[in-house]
Structure 1
Amino acid sequence: MPVFLSRSAPLGLALAAALVLAPAAASAEPAAPPPPSLGLTRESAEEFVDQRVPELLERHGAPGVVVSVVGDGAPLASAAHGTADLSTGTPLDPEVHGIPTASVAKSFTAVAVLQLAERGEVDLHEDVNTYLPEDLRVPDTHEGQPVTLHHLLTHSPGFDERTEMDDPEDAGSQRGLTEFLRDNTPDRVFPPGRFTAYSNYGTGLAGFVVQEVSGVPFEEYVERNVFAPLGMDGTRFGQLHEETDLVTGHRPDGSPVPYPHIPLVPAGAAVTTDDDMARFMLALLGGGELDGERVLGPDWTGAMLDRQFEVHPDTTAMGYGAYEHRRGTPRTVGHGGDLDGLHTGYLVVPEIDAGVFVAVNGDDAGPDAGDNPFHDLRFAVLNAFADTFAPAGDDGTGGERTDAADTGAYTGSYVTTRRSTSGSARIVTLFDNVTVRDAGDGSLRVRGAIMPEEHWLPVGNDVFETADGGERLAFVVEDGRAVAVYLEANPTSGYDRVPVWGSAGVHLGAVAVSLLLLLSGAVQLRRPGGAVRTAAAVSAGLTALACLTGVGLVVYAVTDLNRLQEWLLSGSAALSLPLGLAVPLTLVTAGFAVTAWVRGWWGPVRRVHYSLLPVAALAVVAVGAQYGLVWPFA
């Protein structure tokens, strides 16, 4: 998922990232108490931010990092290291440079919604359409199963992905919250409460409810009722490209990234400071109160951080505008955020009254940089904090490893629940998918873009873990068969089962065979003979070229995720135009194939070969259409 999308989607897209917190390594030993931790004091917190964090920055190679730590009801330490803007060499200074929150802002929006619920102005379990004007109401796709604010705050309404952004340089194209919500009503892919599927639209809709019910513009409501009472003077919702003195986001090559116009303001368009995030974490740890000012009652604050939606009892779960960072005790809860070239996250540990916030203004480029978004500098800092001050013990949900009774119940193909049902954004499912195979010894082989390991061992209750016990997969099983699988690192989205013919592996195999056939046709027909037969050869050649160009551009985009993200968010036809042109060319080539049989062109073998060319092109186009890659239907 990016974008303020989660990076749990195809490594940069919705792989613009989860806005998800990756777990620290959890113990695999049963019923063990939490191991000893380094006591969190002002001195140990300062040592962490001044020594450990710079070490991680050097290894990951990001431009800069800001971190703040709280504990025992007070700020303990904060620091900034590195550069705010590589092009100027300006040192990163949190007193000068504002920090875009990305999806950390969802926690602010959740507090606003819970305030209304606490006052009885909304019911979290009432049909959300009760609070919406007619032109913004959620369609009744699943009769008798309305979407509620509870679903919106836990990413479980079942919406398809809608995260378009606007060009910051084109004022005419920039949409407001109401306009975007009205014109981009998402499809309801799943019944509400079925699975989690990360939804920026859902949080945007929840923010609109705040505006509609309170009668105050969303940004103004949160300023008055959340930020001002907590003394968060440097925090506000608004468009990032209109702000000055923000840190600059950077790609791995060091190039700067302009901030987009974000229509779904409540989902990620906010600016903060390290000191303000410290105050926000202290309020959450203080039961909704800070310095005598209360923004939320203790019960409602507890509800925000509690397990409000779980897909499996033995893995991480969703709170309201927050989610668990890992399994085990002590519990760590928070939220992450991603924009192109900027990554943020916070977590609080209520049991030890502690919290940490981190912001990184660039993608990793050092020796520890990798393709998995769960391993970036932001997560490295969060995990290091948890491992140092709140190492995880077992919560009793795992037990000893066992033999899986029937691994066949889990094997198959799964695609991300966070997916679009229209447009070129459907390409996300082409590489954000998981394949599960029986390893032959009671364990599983699992492959996927963000899978940390391939080999997974059973621990019972449809849960598997890595050999070191550091990560878990939990399967949702119905009637003896898995229907979905979730990686413990990301409770905000999972993977639901698809039939064999719907798997990316089958689609890619079909495309590979078809392209080979099209290439062979281009070679065989280079000496056609006669004007009409020459036209037939040219038609076949152009059809092959269109298909090869279309597939080639997809391959190029996958190898340059920033380019892919740019094309998808801008609505570019670069990915869909070649296969769009292949459609009429395929029809013309098919016409020539019929003519070849009627008029007896060439020998039988060559006629069969030529006839297979439009079939092969049709297969490529059909697969492209599955992923929204055929213009103008994309």
Structure 2
Amino acid sequence: MKKKTRRLSVIALLLSTAVFTACSAPISTNAISSKGSFNGKEIEAFADPIFAQEMKEYNVNGSNFVVVKDGKVLVNKGYGYADKEKKTLVDKNTVFQIASVSKTFTALAALQLVEQGKMDLDHDINAYLGGMKVPNETETPLTLRSMLSYTTGFDYPDKANFVAPEYVNQDIPMKKFMTEHMPTVVRTPGEAYTYDNFAFLLAGYAIENVSGIPFYKYMENHVFKPLGMNSTSARFTPELLDRMATHYGPDGKPHPTFGHAPTDGPQGSILSTGEDMAKYLTLFQQQGSVNGKQIISKETTKMMQTYSVFANESLPMTTVGGFEGYRNDLMNGYHVVLKGGNMPGHQSLIVLLPEENTAFYMSYNNDTMMSLDIYEALMDHYFPEKKAPETPKYLPLNASEATKYTGTYLNTRFYFLKSNFTYADGNLIMETGTSGTHTLRMINPLLFEDELGNKLAFKKDHKDQIEYFYYTNPNSPDFVSDARKVHTKPAFADVSEESAYKSYIDNLYSLDVISAKSGNHFEPQGTMTQGEFMDALILAHGWYGFPHLIEGNKELTKKGIPGFDRNAVITRQVAAVMIQNLKQAKQASEITLKGDTDAWAANSIIALVSQGIVDPDTKVNDDGTVDFRSKKPLLRQEAGALLDLAFGYYTLPIKH
């Protein structure tokens, strides 16, 4: 069995400013072929101890588990508690929020309308929006095909992704909400993969507009009822809420149910049960038909399970159907399509093996990544690797050829995630803040492998230039989206080539964190207000792609600062506290402050300085003493240095 790796909790990335990892203990299995032994009793005998172990390790109170093969339900059962306090057990009728698994249902509904000739996969989506227009800075129309395969090119794919308890009992229409939270297409559609919530929200609105009925009603009438999914809905109902599993955090404590804004969330609002999801899995194994009813055509069923977007020919990414191919290393050489879903307190996963006519499904009531461990155990037991992976042969890479790869790249969804590539000794060197430094050896001119065997694929744009990369490292959030090359902008006229601050200013300018003060002048010796610095800090921090985090982070930056005033000129000590409130750097060495510093700022300054987050004109003496000039106004060039050092990640290896 493959060695277990640490799993990154994506929900933690979405709902907090910290990155949490979970360590998985190896699960002992004896790999066997599914042929002749794939039956309900054997599956339960294998799965029961796996769920018991993993639920204990991940602090999961309750889970359901479904296995369907050849259109027959072999397992449909529950483990543990839907409500631990009330001792209510999970069973096949327990309701869970399936979150982003909803995207596959939305894709199915949209493709129904395509089959009916009411929409076209390759037509400009604006034609189906009833007058609402999607801003597009490219020369290529946005199409349904790009939307259903996560290749829209939106600048902020989570811009309209709002979840909170107060939305459970509200009715928020799609059109007004989407108009107020509309992203812009900034990359050529179809070119780069970015996990995209807005794309499926927009597809749901197109379904609503073209069909002439509300999205939730369309789903009820044309998808759920025909499938016999009588306990499934795209919005909350009293009856489903009454049967819903309690939501728990990873700490085991219950918390409220979260709803969506808008109320109908084609990107993630569906509620369902194990009983109903078994019927959905059967649909794919019976070529779009359930109980004699053809819900979608055989061709569409196949398309939804066939990869159309690749990072490299060996690295499938997405289908036109909302399914994905992340964690290619766990597929054991089989054709597998996946879809996971995360809501605060609920997690779901679908695994389809089309060529084996087999499917797994699970939902459980916390938002850890337990599902990937169970998926791996199931694959290794029933679908073990047919042959050992071949050791790749590496090609030489010279310095001249390496220049087309080198530079800084920014993830197209997680703007905090930056990576820098340089060349050394025949290899590429990748530096990134989430998983450290990696040596990449070239397998072919677009495919590289790191020291752990993780693949990294570079991708070309419509101009045939290397513009993106996709990295499969499971210990980094890179796998949720491509990263795009950052191109240097024209230099500021008033920042000299000899300035010690130039590289920091240029970096932040290229990342759109800071801009000119007037014309093409930066005014490096100018001052900033506390509000101006806060706005730049939020951008440098990199979490501004998630609107529900912005206001909270703004409030956090002000913590511990007496009399915060957006219009007041910012001092160096105020800037240090604001940075540290988001950075949370640990003190790495003994630092003694000289000069005048207020007590409320001292610890923040010491932590940052000890980590090397200090502007070029502030010198740390050999004995660890430093005059931070704490009460002096912060100059714009100093702000550039501090922000780039604090949040550039690759530029400053953090000391531990």
Under a length normalisation based on structure 1, what TM-score does the superposition of the two structures give?
Answer: 0.71
C-alpha contact 2:571 2:631 (8 A) present in aligned 1: no
- Of 459, 465, 468, the residue aligned with 2:443 is 459
> Offset at 1:13?
4.3
Q: Aligned pair in 2 of structure 1 residues 443, 317: CA closer, same or farther (>3 Å)?
A: same
Once the two structures are superposed, what CA deviation does each residue of 1:29-61 show, in whole Å capped at 9, x if it has no partner? xxxxxx973443323322233222222223333
Task: State the alpha-carbon separation in 1 of the partners of residues 388 and 194 from structure 2.
Answer: 26
1:12 aligns with 2:14: yes
C-alpha contact 1:458 1:464 (8 A) present in aligned 2: yes
> Offset at 1:312?
3.0
**Aligned pair count?**
528
C-alpha contact 2:419 2:431 (8 A) present in aligned 1: yes
1:65-144 to 2 correspondences below 5 Å? 65-86=63-84, 88=85, 90-95=87-92, 97-134=94-131, 136-143=132-139
C-alpha contact 1:166 1:174 (8 A) present in aligned 2: no
Counterpart amino acid of residue 415 in structure 2: T
- Of 363, 368, 382, the residue aligned with 2:375 is 382
Once the two structures are superposed, what CA deviation does each residue of 1:48-103 show, in whole Å capped at 9, x if it has no partner? 332222222233333332221111221111332233335x1534413453110100
- Of 322, 335, 349, the residue aligned with 1:345 is 349
Please give the root-mean-square deviation of Cα atoms over the aligned residues, in Å. Answer: 4.6
> Offset at 1:273?
0.8
1:155 aligns with 2:155: no
> Offset at 1:613?
3.9
Task: State the alpha-carbon separation in 1 of the partners of residues 168 and 367 from structure 2.
Answer: 28
* Alignment match, 2:55: 57
* Alignment match, 1:260: 258
Once the two structures are superposed, what CA deviation does each residue of 1:272-330 show, in whole Å capped at 9, x if it has no partner? 11122121112112211122222111101111111223343231221121122427732
Counterpart amino acid of residue 300 in structure 1: T
> Offset at 1:222?
1.2
Greater RCO structure (CA 8 Å; 6+ sep): 1
* Alignment match, 1:442: 427
Counterpart amino acid of residue 386 in structure 1: M
C-alpha contact 1:50 1:79 (8 A) present in aligned 2: no
Task: State the alpha-carbon separation in 1 of the partners of residues 419 and 290 from structure 2.
Answer: 44
Task: State the alpha-carbon separation in 1 of the partners of residues 426 and 393 from structure 2.
Answer: 17
Once the two structures are superposed, what CA deviation does each residue of 1:445-488 show, in whole Å capped at 9, x if it has no partner? 45343x5994544322422235564x322111468964211134
Counterpart amino acid of residue 72 in structure 1: D
The residue matched to 2:266 in structure 1 has which SS?
Answer: helix
The residue matched to 2:260 in structure 1 has which SS?
Answer: coil
* Alignment match, 2:333: 329
The residue matched to 1:196 in structure 2 has which SS?
Answer: coil
Bigger helix fraction: 1
C-alpha contact 1:141 1:188 (8 A) present in aligned 2: yes
Task: State the alpha-carbon separation in 2 of the partners of residues 380 and 497 from structure 1.
Answer: 33
Q: Aligned pair in 2 of structure 1 residues 588, 48: CA closer, same or farther (>3 Å)?
A: closer
The residue matched to 1:316 in structure 2 has which SS?
Answer: strand
C-alpha contact 2:427 2:440 (8 A) present in aligned 1: no
C-alpha contact 2:76 2:92 (8 A) present in aligned 1: no
- Of 496, 500, 519, the residue aligned with 2:484 is 496
Counterpart amino acid of residue 163 in structure 1: A
Counterpart amino acid of residue 307 in structure 1: Y
C-alpha contact 1:9 1:16 (8 A) present in aligned 2: no
Counterpart amino acid of residue 98 in structure 1: V
C-alpha contact 2:162 2:548 (8 A) present in aligned 1: no
Task: State the alpha-carbon separation in 2 of the partners of residues 288 and 439 from structure 1.
Answer: 52
Structure 2: which 5+ runs fail to align? Answer: 1-7, 20-25, 491-499, 506-526, 573-618, 620-626, 649-656
Task: State the alpha-carbon separation in 2 of the partners of residues 575 and 123 from structure 1.
Answer: 46
- Of 227, 235, 242, the residue aligned with 1:238 is 235
1:536-555 to 2 correspondences below 5 Å? none
> Offset at 1:620?
7.5
- Of 40, 45, 53, the residue aligned with 1:42 is 40
The residue matched to 1:12 in structure 2 has which SS?
Answer: helix
* Alignment match, 2:288: 288
Structure 1: which 5+ runs fail to align? Answer: 1-5, 18-23, 25-34, 365-375, 419-427, 512-539, 590-604, 628-634
Q: Aligned pair in 2 of structure 1 residues 323, 612: CA closer, same or farther (>3 Å)?
A: same
* Alignment match, 2:523: none
Task: State the alpha-carbon separation in 1 of the partners of residues 389 and 115 from structure 2.
Answer: 33
Q: Aligned pair in 2 of structure 1 residues 166, 434: CA closer, same or farther (>3 Å)?
A: same
1:476-491 to 2 correspondences below 5 Å? 476-477=459-460, 482-488=466-472
- Of 162, 179, 182, the residue aligned with 1:182 is 179
Task: State the alpha-carbon separation in 2 of the partners of residues 457 and 573 from structure 1.
Answer: 41
- Of 416, 429, 433, the residue aligned with 2:418 is 433
The percent identity for this pair of structures is 23
- Of 539, 555, 566, the residue aligned with 1:574 is 555
C-alpha contact 2:128 2:210 (8 A) present in aligned 1: yes
Task: State the alpha-carbon separation in 1 of the partners of residues 433 and 214 from structure 2.
Answer: 42
* Alignment match, 1:216: 213
* Alignment match, 1:371: none
Of 570-579 and 75-84, the range deviating more from structure 2: 570-579
Under a length normalisation based on structure 2, what TM-score does the superposition of the two structures give?
Answer: 0.69
Counterpart amino acid of residue 414 in structure 1: Y
Q: Aligned pair in 2 of structure 1 residues 547, 240: CA closer, same or farther (>3 Å)?
A: farther
C-alpha contact 2:77 2:92 (8 A) present in aligned 1: no
* Alignment match, 2:614: none
Counterpart amino acid of residue 111 in structure 1: L
Task: State the alpha-carbon separation in 1 of the partners of residues 548 and 394 from structure 2.
Answer: 46
The residue matched to 2:44 in structure 1 has which SS?
Answer: helix
